[in-house]
Amino acid sequence: MVEKTTLPLHTDHPRTYHDCRYVYPVLSRRSKGISLGINLNPDKICNFDCIYCQVDRRSEAETDFVATDRLMHELELVLDLVVSGKLYDDERFSQVPPELRRLNDFAFSGDGEPTTFRNFDEIIQQVADLKSARGLDDVKLVLITNASMFHRPVIERGLEILDRNNGEIWAKLDAGTDEYFQLIERTKIPFRQILDNITNAARIRPIIIQSLFMNVHGNPPNSHEIDEFCRRLNEISSAGGTISLAQVYTVARQPAEGFVTSLSDEQVDNIAEKVRTTTGIATESYYGV
């Protein structure tokens, strides 16, 4: 049976918090608790230009570099708010139910692809050290990624640090065919590179696949595309990769492109059921607005 998960406040994910530039707390529908987002791309630079992204890359960013000392300072400040419970004095978080008032993870995400950050392995280590120093061994390190840079040595080192520190990789895979991949992601990076990187990473540690499906100009992905998507997942498994979970979800926040809209709950569940029955992979559904 596909798990149906609906959380409050999941439509509210601003990537700024008060005076913080790099760190932002969110109530995450997929983490089922509080996630501390770490934005390594405040310049909004990304090697994908996904049609469903809520980041409007046509506007100019105020910052074109990451000041790591400030980032770590902000992380400690916001972490203190969460651990002390003072975060819930904030009007934005005051309605978070008691069972979700838990710190689930530090999530490397933000306004672009985090693995394009040139000192990726160093910042992963610094956050892991902070987590350890605070005795938060059960709190996860989550990398939300398009998997485009996994083949680079600096990223491989960063992934190894994640492995040693209760890390998870949430790898984006929104398509089954090259044509649909280009329609959705709008990138020069070949689809095969993404598939190979995911497969190679999944051979070393279990990964989570995150897949967002949507209406494009009113049209959902057709049955052939979903069949091919399932085929790609089976190919990863057959090549020795381990996928611990597939997250099937749809648009929950306003995307930059107006021609992108949410699937219905039923459509999301149908895709998730297809994935589960075709691949045998544990699957969760997450819904739109």
Q: What is the per-residue pLDDT across 167-218, written as a single tens digit (0 to 9) for each? A: 999 999 999 999 999 999 999 999 999 999 999 999 999 999 999 999 999 9
pTM of the model: 0.91
The domain defined by 3-286 folds into TIM Barrel (3.20.20)
Q: What is the per-residue pLDDT across 112-163, written as a single tens digit (0 to 9) for each? A: 999 999 999 999 999 999 999 999 999 999 999 999 999 999 999 999 999 9
Starting at the edge strand that comes first in sequence, how are the strands of the sheet with 207-212 ordered?
3-5, 283-286, 243-249, 207-212, 167-172, 140-145, 103-109, 33-39, 23-28
Q: What is the per-residue pLDDT across 60-118, written as a single tens digit (0 to 9) for each? A: 545 457 899 999 999 999 999 999 999 999 999 999 999 999 999 999 988 999 999 99
The Cβ of residue 284 has, within 10 Å, a number of other Cβ atoms equal to: 18
Q: What is the per-residue pLDDT across 219-269, written as a single tens digit (0 to 9) for each? A: 999 999 999 999 999 999 999 999 999 999 999 888 989 999 999 999 999
pLDDT at 16: 52
Taking CA atoms, 38 is separated from 95, 172, 173, 271, in Å, by: 23, 18, 21, 30
Select from 17, 200, 39 the least CA-distant residue to 123.
Answer: 39
Asked whether the predicted pLDDT for residue 14 surpasses 90, the reply is no
pLDDT at 7: 44
